[in-house]
Structure 1
Amino acid sequence: MTDTADDPQQEPDLLSYRLTDEQDVLLRTIATEFARSGKWPVFDHAISTLEDDYGMDARNALTSLPRVPDSPDMLGRPSYGFTALPPRAVERETPVALTVAAALVLPELRQLISEPFLRVMHHMIKVYWETPRDPYVVKQVRITSEQLRAAVHIGDEALWALLPGILRNEIATRRCVSSIGPEASTWSGEIDREILRFRDCFTVEDYVAKVSEIVIGWAREAEDRYRPSPPIRRPPLPGVTAPVAEDTEPATGQAPHTFQQLHIHSGDHSPVNVNASMAYADQGGATASASSAANKARWWQLSRWRRQR
């Protein structure tokens, strides 16, 4: 079970989350294959392993894993959890990668993924911080895999090939890899200023806490920005009185669910019955047309009489 509170509005706490048996088997199946081959297995491998060997449902295990925010918005804002992709983006053929946060529940991943990532991240922070500013140019800091190899030791050669994918899956470095060479271990990218927000994160716990804070903040900003505005109540026009119909019998004897007459006050403050005028206009359509024709005939006769004179 989890250590999250009973409040359904509270976001899950990745730092204190405890896996269910089904979730634990899923993550260990993925991590074991990664440690063996240096590659992330496709989700179909997890489906087959959990169903055939344990009688468990891999899709249910994946869907039940916690993510922050708990209900990601539909505006493209990222969420974060133990897997890189949210469940809705995972198909049978999708490689399932684990994040740095997975080391919180699988300690063996600390040395394999999380600690090398933190060393790379802090080197990028150092490079960005030491690059001088130019008051007339936007600060752009480039970095290549060769530069990282010369400055940071992360161990296994297979990890260098996986490093671009790991960097792209993490909030702190997701924009740092923009171009990958013929070999997966050869790449380059730009260090984003946002990485400075993580300069005080030296442990996995510090990093995951900061990521959770950032993605929850993004979700709240999106909710505030796109929350529907309340309906606008326009004031009534001056000189117009329109009593609202009530469900009860009015004092005037009018039947319920009908509207009373609407009166508009003219310039001399004498009320004009709009309902009567509208009824007159409705039933007098043909009469108005005939009257117009008669007026035209009179005008033609008068014009002819004036010309004859």
Structure 2
Amino acid sequence: MNTLFDAVITQDQRSLLTRIAGPWLATGEWPLWGSIQHYFDARRLDADEVFHSLSRVGVAGPFAAGYGFTAPMRAPISATDRVRLTVASSRVLPEVRMVVGEPFVRVLLHMVKLHADRPVSDHEVTPAQLRSAELMAAMPHLKPWFVQVLPDLLSYEPGISNGGGATLGDGTWERTIDRSVMQFRDVLSVEDYIARTCEIVTANAAQFAPLVAAVETPPVAEPERAPYIDGGLLHDLEEAAAKTRWKVHKLLALCRGLNDSYTAGNPYACAAMIRSILDHIPPLFGHADFKVVASQHVFTVKRTDKSHAQKLAAFKDIADDVMHRPIGPSVPRISMVDIPEPVRLNAVLQEVVAILR
């Protein structure tokens, strides 16, 4: 299970991530932890407790290793430490996704191309270089702010090795690109990037995990599955429902039922609920069928969310199998792995919220 996609973000966690993002998006500088602590102290909350409750993948050690929505920080965090977000925070902060996450993926693919197109010799290795001036010329749509913060951002993404670099006197910079970027050659979206980074971090953690003695150990209870529909998104849907002419009662009931079925691990109920939601919402988009929504609606995040919608439309065959296959001599083979990733329906429901508003 990928906890960065499956985890429910609490209101306090979202507030923490937003407080970290604010100064950075405004000035390009990360805030001091002391300022974050002061904000939470005034609200009778423990910032350190909220920070360390954030989901991570990889090493679950005492120093917050692995990969998560924030860069790792040793505990206890000093008031003078700078606290940073990662590209993964794009998954929960739309403002970071738009200004940072999506441009980052485009630059990463540009880095892949630079590495693949570099001169090759049997006698000399010539690494590719990412230079700020050349990057602005090649991708003029990038904002100067993003280009300025990119070297620091790259330094805290664990799947991309630090090939070295320099900042020149005129403020421009250059960075060596090594072959670690080739791990991301098939990445097409922010979700793809986060998922691939989680795979890399998890695989690296497994290599260094201590060997387990070959002795019988008591069974470990499986951790509780997080709700399918993000808690913050469900709250936004409820708020939007109160201010629209559309009657959203059934949709909210289906979403809550899906969450209950998903946390209980019931694949048949999950498939039926997802199919019911997809059959229920097309009129909001001005269509009668979800396949038409997936093929014709212009989503806010065009390519990524359209891809999510098309994958959900293709899920209809499995849902039909769940709902219409009659009883027979063979055992049905539907399991939780056949249920679409939560990020896909969450993206479509985020579009529903935008339409209702």
Greater RCO, CA 8 A, separation 6+? 2
* Closer/same/farther in 2, CA of residues 23 and 55 from structure 1, 3 Å limit: same
Within the alignment, does 1:16 sit opposite 2:6 as a pair?
yes
Instruction: Measure the CA separation in 2 of the matches of 1:147 and 1:137.
Output: 24
* Closer/same/farther in 2, CA of residues 144 and 36 from structure 1, 3 Å limit: closer
**Is contact 1:168-1:176 (8 Å) kept?**
no
**Is contact 2:56-2:67 (8 Å) kept?**
yes
Of 19, 30, 33, which aligns to 2:20? Answer: 30
Instruction: Measure the CA separation in 2 of the matches of 1:154 and 1:121.
Output: 15
Instruction: Measure the CA separation in 2 of the matches of 1:176 and 1:145.
Output: 15
Corresponding residue number in structure 2 for 1:221: 207
Corresponding residue number in structure 1 for 2:194: 208
* Closer/same/farther in 2, CA of residues 96 and 153 from structure 1, 3 Å limit: farther
Find the residue that maps to 1:15 and give its secondary structure.
helix
Corresponding residue number in structure 2 for 1:237: none
Q: CA deviation at 1:215?
A: 0.8
Moved over 6 A (4+): none
Within the alignment, does 1:49 sit opposite 2:33 as a pair?
no
* Closer/same/farther in 2, CA of residues 78 and 58 from structure 1, 3 Å limit: closer
Instruction: Measure the CA separation in 1 of the matches of 2:18 and 2:51.
Output: 12
1:125-274 correspondence runs (5 A): 125-153=112-140, 155-182=142-169, 185-223=171-209, 227=211
Instruction: Measure the CA separation in 1 of the matches of 2:102 and 2:163.
Output: 18
Structure 1 spans left out of the alignment, 5+ residues: 1-10, 231-309
Q: CA deviation at 1:148?
A: 1.3
Find the residue that maps to 1:48 and give its secondary structure.
helix
1:275-294 correspondence runs (5 A): none
Corresponding residue number in structure 2 for 1:67: 56
**Is contact 1:43-1:92 (8 Å) kept?**
yes
Corresponding residue number in structure 1 for 2:79: 92
Counterpart AA for 1:156: K
* Closer/same/farther in 2, CA of residues 139 and 36 from structure 1, 3 Å limit: closer
Instruction: Measure the CA separation in 1 of the matches of 2:145 and 2:24.
Output: 10
Counterpart AA for 2:180: E
Find the residue that maps to 1:217 and give its secondary structure.
helix
The farther-off stretch of 133-142 and 158-167 is 133-142
Corresponding residue number in structure 1 for 2:250: none
* Closer/same/farther in 2, CA of residues 63 and 24 from structure 1, 3 Å limit: same
* Closer/same/farther in 2, CA of residues 176 and 89 from structure 1, 3 Å limit: farther
TM-score normalized by structure 1?
A: 0.63
**Is contact 1:164-1:177 (8 Å) kept?**
no
Corresponding residue number in structure 2 for 1:124: 111
Q: Percent identity?
A: 31
1:287-306 correspondence runs (5 A): none
The farther-off stretch of 201-210 and 145-154 is 145-154
Instruction: Measure the CA separation in 2 of the matches of 1:144 and 1:32.
Output: 27
Counterpart AA for 1:186: T
TM-score normalized by structure 2?
A: 0.55
Instruction: Measure the CA separation in 2 of the matches of 1:193 and 1:98.
Output: 24
Find the residue that maps to 1:34 and give its secondary structure.
helix
Instruction: Measure the CA separation in 2 of the matches of 1:100 and 1:195.
Output: 15
The structure where helix makes up a greater share of residues is 2
* Closer/same/farther in 2, CA of residues 24 and 143 from structure 1, 3 Å limit: closer
Instruction: Measure the CA separation in 1 of the matches of 2:129 and 2:39.
Output: 42
Q: CA deviation at 1:89?
A: 7.4
Instruction: Measure the CA separation in 1 of the matches of 2:153 and 2:25.
Output: 14
Instruction: Measure the CA separation in 1 of the matches of 2:167 and 2:179.
Output: 21
Q: CA deviation at 1:177?
A: 4.5
Q: CA RMSD in A?
A: 2.5
Which has the larger Rg? Answer: 1
Counterpart AA for 1:81: G
Corresponding residue number in structure 2 for 1:288: none
- CA displacement 1:156-212 (0-9 Å, x = unmatched): 3222221110111113434144212235x5221211101001011111110111111
Q: CA deviation at 1:78?
A: 5.8
- CA displacement 1:108-156 (0-9 Å, x = unmatched): 1111111121121111111111123212333522232222121123543
**Is contact 2:165-2:174 (8 Å) kept?**
yes
Corresponding residue number in structure 1 for 2:30: 40
Of 108, 121, 133, which aligns to 2:95? Answer: 108
**Is contact 2:23-2:31 (8 Å) kept?**
yes
